[in-house]
Amino acid sequence: MTLTEKLPTEFRQRCEGIATEQRSLLNLRAFEPLPADLLAAQLNAIILTPEQISTLDPSVVAVLLDSDQWSAGIINQSPLWIVNNPRHTPARRESNLMHEFGHLLLRHKIVRFDPNTGLPLRRQSDEDEATYLGGCLQIPRRGLLWAVQRQMTLTEIAVHFNTSEEMVQFRSNVTAVNIR
């Protein structure tokens, strides 16, 4: 099942609304790129890499720094600390962080870790919602319409919004805004 099939229309509209609200708080229009670091500052979030977390065991830091298998996570809510995988590309970093801001703005409960496996106990519905809102934050539907009206290519749109081309394609699919 695709995300648009799983998530109701009202929820998806709410996400566009949240994306618009966050942009307007930063005096940004729908067609302007929203850098994750700018939104982080607005949300009082501190972005850390594993070695910057003094409470982590050095062996855990080494494992995290050696792995591509994780992207980002909220490790503390007050103050808000988000750990991010420094191995990922800049475009991936943007989407990782926007996904975490999605959890935050939707007031999802912080993910707990299974004490036996050490793996995060994620709820799939929360993950789907955060991914959807993260995409809206990166490329609002109105921003995508603007780009299409200017006849920008998929690659140009990705560069403009500082996203991956996969993200542009995903946003095109879920918003039914077709890129030429």
**Chain residues in the site for Zn ion (CB under 5 A):** 127, 130
Q: Enumerate residues 6+ apart whose C-beta is below 8 A from 148.
A: 177, 178, 179, 180
CB of 36 to Zn ion, least distance (A): 15
E strands within the chain? 45-48, 72-77, 80-84
Q: Which one, 14 or 142, has the nearer CB to Zn ion?
A: 14
E strands within 3-65? 45-48
Token pair in block for residue 143: 């921003």
CB of 66 to Zn ion, least distance (A): 21
CB of 103 to Zn ion, least distance (A): 6
Q: Which one, 34 or 130, has the nearer CB to Zn ion?
A: 130
Q: Are 82 and 75 in contact (CB under 8 A)?
A: yes
Q: Which one, 38 or 106, has the nearer CB to Zn ion?
A: 106
Q: Which one, 31 or 134, has the nearer CB to Zn ion?
A: 134
CB of 20 to Zn ion, least distance (A): 22
Q: Which one, 126 or 165, has the nearer CB to Zn ion?
A: 126
Token pair in block for residue 30: 């729908």
Nearest to 129 by CA among 94, 101, 167, 163: 101
- The owner of tokens 């302007």 is 32
CB of 170 to Zn ion, least distance (A): 16
